[in-house]
Amino acid sequence: MMGMPRGGRLFLATCLCSLFVLVLYFQSITKPEPALKTGGRTVKSRRSPLQTLYKGDQQLQPSTAQKSLQGRRELLEQACLSHTRKRRVLSPEDLKHLIVDDKHGLIYCYVPKVACTNWKRVLMVLTSDGRYTDPLAIPANEAHVSGNLRTLSEFSVTEINQRLRSYLKFIFVRDPFERIVSAYRNKFTRSYNTAFHKRYGTKIIRRYRSDPDPEAMERGSDVSFREFVQYLVDPRTQREEPFNEHWERVHSLCHPCQIHYDVVGKYETLEADASAVLRLATVEGTVQFPTSGKSTRTDGNMAAHFFKHISPFYQKKLFNLYRMDFFLFNYSTPEYLRTR
């Protein structure tokens, strides 16, 4: 090498350096995720959920369920790319709906009125170390107690990033208008929801009902669906305070264009999609997702009945308010909608 011309020596040194960098690169991309420390115990690194779900044995044909889940994820990513120019940095406040299960490497963004009570029950079973075994034995109000489950907002930035990179992240969504009708029915037509009647019903009646009687203004328990829609589309509503989580848009609760969810489950295929998530988390033998026994749950026909009494003007304003959820999660404009 000493007898080489100076230019040759420089060329050889450059090649060796490049080879060294290349080796380091391939070592880094093949190195498994480091184990996470969680309260004194170490969570073992696991295969990437995307590898498990979408990059399984290449010799096997992906199942219909896998194709469906992959298709939804790809549609969401395409929608985000085409519709979001600037992506803001998320704050801890933005991560309060993301529940973390360190034991099984799961992150679930809960959306009220999309089977979130049962998902919280399932996660309480998975994280309880044996205290809970049957999701349906957990009272609904206990499932919603703050502190029973940890959220991503409770971790440091480094811990948040580690979990977002290596955990299975999933979300369940629903036709936006069916979700709105379900929220209205649950919060404004049930006698036991006096807190919602006082907090929101009294305000809605005072603002949108002409000549309300004193009892209605005091109790707030007989809000009509038309009044509720007026409240949602009124610009003053969001200027005064953020939407309640039960009617907040899914993209504002779960930030699907900043957080890349591995599974986008749908309420319309709830049981199959829930089974797929539990299978991916390898806990299908530990816990079963509760099946709904409700015969009066809100569906498209019921939503159509409620919207029949809403004028085209307000239907259009409401659709524009929830347009991003329709678009991101590939929901068609309801056939019953009259926006012209």
Q: Mean pLDDT of all residues in the chain?
A: 85
pLDDT at 65: 75
- Percentage with pLDDT > 70 across the chain: 79
In this structure, the strands spanning 106-109 and 98-101 are antiparallel
Please report which confidence band the pLDDT of residue 115 belongs to, taking 50, 70 and 90 as the band edges. very high
Q: What pLDDT is recorded for position 14?
A: 55
Higher pLDDT, 87 or 99: 99
* pLDDT for residue 36: 58
Q: In Å, what is the CA distance from 321 to each residue of 174, 184, 199, 243?
A: 16, 16, 22, 12
**pLDDT given at position 291:** 83
Does 27 have pLDDT greater than 80?
A: no
Q: Identify the band that residue 57 occupies on the pLDDT scale cut at 50, 70 and 90.
A: very low
Q: Identify the pLDDT of residue 4.
A: 55
Dihedral, 245, 246, 248, 249 alpha carbons, nearest 10: 120
Whether the CB-CB separation of 112 and 48 falls below 8 Å is answered with no
**For the ranges 19-28, 44-53, 241-250, 291-300, which has the lowest average pLDDT?**
19-28
**Structure pTM?**
0.83
The pLDDT score that the predictor gives to residue 5 is 63
Angstrom distance (rounded) from CA 51 to CA 74 = 15
- Average pLDDT value for residue range 259-287: 94
Band the pLDDT of 154: cuts 50, 70, 90. Answer: very high
Helices (H), the chain: 6-30, 49-54, 64-83, 116-127, 140-143, 157-166, 176-188, 194-196, 202-208, 214-219, 225-233, 235-240, 250-254, 270-280, 300-307, 312-321, 323-328
| Reported confidence tier of residue 152, pLDDT bands at 50, 70, 90 | very high
Percent of the chain predicted with pLDDT > 90: 71
Would you say 220 and 231 are in contact if contact means Cβ atoms under 8 Å apart? no
| Listed range (5-14, 45-54, 214-223) with the worst mean pLDDT | 45-54
The pLDDT tens digits of the residues spanning 161-208 come to 999 999 999 999 999 999 999 999 999 999 999 999 999 999 999 999
